[in-house]
Amino acid sequence: MAPPTVGTDTTGSLRIAAALCGRDGQLIGPGSVDHLIERLLTHKNGPTLTPLSPQDERLLAAAIDLAQQSRDHGNHPFGALLASPSGEVLCQAENTVVTQNDITNHAELNLVSKACRTLTVEQLATGTLYTSTEPCAMCCGAIYWSRIPRVVYALGEDELAVLVGGSSELVLQLPSRQVFAAGSPKVEVSGPHLHGAGAAVHKDFWT
């Protein structure tokens, strides 16, 4: 069976979404996912992603761990954190849409709200936001207005749409880069990354 066709979308995630599920529709193991993604990313027609630094990878993995904690706490599997240039975690948050009965309580929005109340303007303006899944348009707005200059995410929003599948959950398929491009100064966006771990935290959740 031929691998999925690699496209030239700006996020680099649409071409990978089909690889996250096996023939039976179930998520395949992280090792297999990583192997397929590597094949797709090196396809001659597709763009390549800049590899994560060890610090970025560690912090993004921590955001995915927060997503698992969110799921364990009865919420949707999303987590986010803000780190300083040196890699110090300044603030972190989980999704709380279920436990607080507020559909706007996405992990990134919770994080930005908490960070704005507890951190300095300089800490916000020099930090990097790491999130387990690409932020939606609502969360992008909050990130932009807080002046956080950089976002690193694991799972892409179009990949999430594949995982959600036929469930009743709403997915706004608007790439974060497109949202941030409408503002100035620009927000640097890096992702998708760590697809295997990013997808695994969603396994069997949306069914």
Other C-beta atoms lying within 10 Å of the C-beta of residue 108: 31
CA–CA gap between residue 173 and residue 161 (Å, rounded): 8
* Catalytic residue (one of 57, 88, 94, 108): 108
Does the annotation mark 134 as catalytic?
no
**Phi and psi (nearest 5°) for 126?**
-120, 5
State the residue for tokens 């955001």: 63
Contact, 139 vs 106, CB < 8 A? yes
* Residue among 108, 110, 112 at smallest CA distance from 131: 108
Q: Which residues are the active-site residues? A: 108
